[in-house]
Amino acid sequence: MLSRLNLAVRPCIYMCRCVHTKEKGKPLMLSPRTNKGMAFTLEERQILGLHGLLPPKIESQDIQAMRFKKNLEKIPDPLAKYVYVMGMQERNEKLFYRVLLDNIEELLPIVYTPTVGLACLQYGHIFRRPKGVFISIMDKGHVRSILDNWPDADVKAVVVTDGERILGLGDLGVYGMGIPVGKLCLYTTCAGIDPRSCLPVCIDVGTDNETLLKDPFYMGLYQKRDRSHRYDELIDEFMEAITDKYGRNTLIQFEDFGNHNAFRFLRKYRDKYCTFNDDIQGTASVALAGLLSAQRVINKPITENRYLFLGAGEAALGIADLIVMAMKSVGMPEEEAQRKIWMFDKYGLLCEGRSEPIESHQAAYVHPAPDQITKTFLDAVNLVRPTAIIGVAGAGRLFTKEVISAMGHINDRPIIFALSNPTAKAECTAEDAYTLTEGRCLFASGSPFSPVTLPDGRVFQPGQGNNAYIFPGVALAVMLVEARNISSQVFLEAAEALAEQVTSDELAQGCLYPPLSNIRKVSISIAVKVAEFLYSNGMAFEYPEPKFKEEYFLSKVWKTDYESFLPDVYDWPESVTKLPNL
């Protein structure tokens, strides 16, 4: 074969130092990390045992991306699109991320909310190839040996779930693995983090979902959730095993744990490990960024707003705590800031003396019982007269026409955030919010909505308060400066950095967030501001401190361009390196 080597190889012999691979032949094409499909050059095909295993045409990645996109456009069903797109990740990693980054506005709703929710519901039915590490309660005492089976040794970021509270869909057990996989896709797409440094993990301790326990395709333990001390011991063992194997500064992101465990683990681990909870802190940061953008429109600081939450779980409390931190940063006392925030859960307003339970982490937002009876959220709106309502209950369309109309009557520019995911769980639609307030509201949602055109011809582009704006940039900064802890202040810095990216023209169109097409630039900007905070507060361990942080982060970005797998000249046989001059 070498005797028939195309003469075009000669320049490569003397000019190119290339990426090495131990694989040859068909195994090279079967690995998503090394597969380039028909983009393998003639020289690579001949040297690496691929000649004849591919059609003779040599394609560019541009052509491959065009084919991928064209085939995707033929698929009408979102779940089928998800299967097709994630199937490409299993076959050709570089091409997958190239297409995802080039078409982020279109494909983010497929690989992330809302379609990832459908994928989790059907996880056992659409299963193709396992991704990540599955650790069950039966593995207690052996977590480290399971991690040793993961092939990538240089893991820097872990996203973990126990599947108890997947989006607004409830307990999906091991089917929740779709969330860590999706989140880490966004680590790479939005912030350019090397996928080889990312590890998705699902902790399986059973499920209380009766439907899944009767599902023959369910892939987890057929048992009720273990809520005993064994569960805590397993999580402790997991945290210790991760940092023991990968290092003290390994980032561990918690996703979709039940409310009680989410707050418990955040308090328990935040000072001991490099960890954060995206449902609490990431959601808070992106919501605060939307409020900071809104204050530029209404010329009213966040200290002058009154906030009413629909929901009092981890998302609501995370947002409320960060709003309080933001108000404290401009001089307002903490207790005064807390008095501006009300919460309404399935039992009604959080008020003193109510018979229903109030968790300890909700105590800061419990108000004296009002004289007026508030049975419904509309009653609460009329009582509190908020300037902003924020929906994070995952209970569906509870921002009714009456509620939205009341907000429009109370405020010249009402703030309406319907942040629950997926789309079916959103508190209202963008169309209702804009129409019922005659275009005066400042609206954001957790899942995407199409632009809204009012009868007078005005067009509004709804902003999506998507956590993808926050956690990839935060992760990039934390990983590259080797922080060992993540303070809540980090998420205030990230929120301010995100709000700064919104232009005046975008605000005029009703959008409180920058376009998703700029997500890589936004993530880098957030990473720079977070890194500056970490260095200035002695929380960074990578020295010397980069002087030009943006250039530094850009230099570390993982590239989607194909690499050459031709052996280095010094590894080639002498018969190849000494080809005769012709």
237-265 pLDDT, tens digit per residue, is: 999 999 999 999 999 999 999 989 999 99
What is the spatial distance between Cα 151 and Cα 69, in angstroms, rounded to a whole number?
A: 31
pLDDT of residue 433: 97
Residue 510 Cα distances to 221, 401, 449, 453, 502, angstroms: 46, 20, 13, 12, 11
pLDDT of residue 582: 40
pLDDT of residue 15: 35
What is the spatial distance between Cα 236 and Cα 239, in angstroms, rounded to a whole number?
A: 5
The answer to whether the predicted template modeling score (pTM) of the entire model surpasses 0.75 is: yes
Parallel, antiparallel, or unpaired: how do β-strands 459-460 and 442-445 relate? unpaired
**393 φ, ψ to 5°?**
-90, -20
pLDDT of residue 512: 96
- Flag residues of the chain having pLDDT under 50: 1-17, 569-582
On the 0-12 / 13-18 / 19+ scale of CB atoms within 10 A, 237 is middle
pLDDT in tens, 314-373: 999 999 999 999 999 999 999 999 999 999 999 999 999 888 888 888 999 999 988 888
What is the spatial distance between Cα 16 and Cα 210, in angstroms, rounded to a whole number?
A: 59
- 183 as an active site residue: the answer is yes
pLDDT of residue 396: 87
Parallel, antiparallel, or unpaired: how do β-strands 341-345 and 198-204 relate? unpaired
3-state DSSP: the chain helix, strand, coil percent, rounded to 5? 50, 10, 40
Name the strand (E) or helix (H) holding 316: helix 314-329
Of 36, 183, 340, 529, which residue is the catalytic one?
183
Contact by Cβ (8 Å): 415, 442: yes
Of 82, 112, 187, 365, which residue is the catalytic one?
112
Q: What is the CA radius of gyration of the chain?
A: 26
pLDDT of residue 371: 83
What is the spatial distance between Cα 15 and Cα 62, in angstroms, rounded to a whole number?
A: 24
pLDDT of residue 12: 38
What is the spatial distance between Cα 313 and Cα 184, in angstroms, rounded to a whole number?
A: 24
